[in-house]
Amino acid sequence: MADMKIPRATAKRLPIYYQYLNILADAGQKRISSSEFAAGVKVDPRTIRRDFSHFGTLGKRGYGYDVADLLAFFKKILKQDQVTKVALVGVGNLGHALLNFNFHRDNNIAIRAAFDIDPAVVGTTIDDIRVYPLTELQNQLQKQAIKVVILTVPEAAAQTVTDQLIAAGVEGIMNFTPTRINVPATVIVQNVNLTSELQTLIYFLNHRTLDQQGTNKE
């Protein structure tokens, strides 16, 4: 997917398509119409057709989509046909929860190492993942050839740790800190701000309520 020039919004929807296809495959479904697929993933059919158009012809008119073929295609596009090694930096409450969540058991994503400065957690093992001191960051990342990192450190340390990650050759960072970290163009950052996401949800809930009140008054 890195070699394909597709919109970021499209790239963010691809895992949704892939996860739904896995559900269909597990249920033994062989094919699915475009309208059924759109209803299943809760995405407008026109958006799906536009997303799929970036990859050529994925379905057949009058037939829909072959579930096995489409699943194999997205598995390759999303690199789910190979294991991606990941490290986590910052084993606080959120970092600890992510390690315990163990999402890598359901995907070809494997957290291979964690890092922290707290003596209480350094040297421990959480769900078979060893916690190293931050001083071992560059050595372990390079030794284990880890290019993707989940960042859950305190806000004040975000940029300093990011600079160390860049020096270690990291190419992708999932940033759970509120800080907008500075990285070179060669590094991709995915910002995940849980507070902002919740505030956005509350905003839409409030405005939906206001819209409904306005409609009722009419």
Annotated binding site: 90-95
Bridge partners of 189, per DSSP, are 173
Give the total residue count for the chain: 218
Instruction: List the one residue out of 136, 28, 47 whose CA is nearest residue 37.
Output: 47
Q: How many CA atoms lie within 13 A of 124 on its CB side?
A: 12
Find the farthest-apart pair of alpha carbons in the chain and give their distance in angstroms, rounded: 67
In sequence order, which residues have a C-beta less than 8 Å from that of residue 170 and are 6 or more positions away? Answer: 141, 146, 147, 148, 149, 187
* CA distance linking residue 186 with residue 170, whole number of Å: 9
Q: For 44-108, give the DSSP string.
A: -HHHHHHHHHTTS--SBTTTBEEHHHHHHHHHHHTTTTS-EEEEEE--SHHHHHHHHH-GGGTSS
HSE-CB at 218 with a 13 A cutoff on CA atoms is: 6
Binding residues for NAD(+): 90-95
Is the four-CA dihedral 157, 163, 164, 170 of positive or negative sign? Answer: positive
